[in-house]
Amino acid sequence: MDRSPRLDPARVDALNRALMTWYERNRRDLPWRRTDDAYAIVVAEFMLQQTGVARVAAKWPEFIVTFASWSELARATPADVIRAWQGLGYNRRALNLWRTARAIVDEHDGILPRDLAALHTLPGVGPYTAAAIQAFVFGDPVPAIDVNLRRVLGRVYFGDDNATSGEVARVGSRVVDLRASAAWNQALMDLSATICRPRVPACERCPLPTWCVYPEASRLTSSIAPTRRAAESRGPDDTFVGSRRHLRGRVIEELRSIANGDVMPIATLRLTLEPPLGQARFGVDDVVAALVSEGLIELIRRDDQVALRLAGG
């Protein structure tokens, strides 16, 4: 069923003006918003894919000093980049960022491509990151639809949290502020982070009540939900510690701790990280094999000993 809302241009324009007025007074001061350097903005977008804003804000300046350009990043080894990525998690993003730098230097003369098809060929650049690059680097009038924009635009224009990404993207492409695409996207992200939150939206502080069609019933349901969910929730250690992702991170951390050029015997890694017998759904060797196949670490054979190091380290 087509749920596309009817969009009155005058109402959309008034809504966007109210949104931008609010944003001018309430914008978050994030370091990557203070630069127009394409490289620096793309680095931030890779970091933000699966890491919170506060952690990225602390790490991004240091990373930009260590690798100041596409060419500097491309000249580094994967091990260098993975070490510099420490604290951000999901280390595959570091490798994808390095591969993207290599592709931009080798295939695009060191210049970030603007063409959407070319952006999609870059490692780690999916639909959202490509749209974010178009909006934040080039100022193209496109909505960068992530979970935040999907929630805000879904509530404002569809009245609920059930709009699909496709529905929101179609509406977003029609309501994006053509005069200030980057600021419009950032304004919606900031509204999502501070007011239009997932379970307890602060509708009384929203700058868009005149136009938002999010029903009172949904607001009531949202405000009740956290109490119910809190009783059901488990601590983060229950779901993360002992998981495959946790063990992957620990393997990378152990290999980060050795100097460039050194290796760690896999037997040492097993002794350090192998879960107690009977408690593991998978072992160190399983995780090592996956990390090797992904190009994050290398298997080295020396003197009949199998050892490991970060890729290129």
Enumerate the active-site residues. Answer: 45
Phi-psi region of 69 (alpha: psi -120 to 50; beta: other; left: phi over 0): beta
| Residue 264 in tokens | 């760690």
Surface-to-core class of residue 219, CB atoms within 10 Å of its CB (0-12 exposed, 13-18 middle, 19+ buried): middle
Which three-class secondary structure state does DSSP give residue 134?
helix
Rounded CA-CA distance 141/135 in Å is 6
Rounded CA-CA distance 207/223 in Å is 19
Cβ 65 vs Cβ 152: under 8 Å: no
| Cβ count near 293 (within 10 Å) | 9
Q: Which residues contact 262 (CB under 8 A, 6 or more apart)?
A: 309
Q: Which string of DSSP letters, residue by residue, matches 23-76?
A: HHHH----GGGG---HHHHHHHHHHHTSS-HHHHHHHHHHHHHHS-SHHHHHHS
Written as one letter, the residue type at 224 is: I
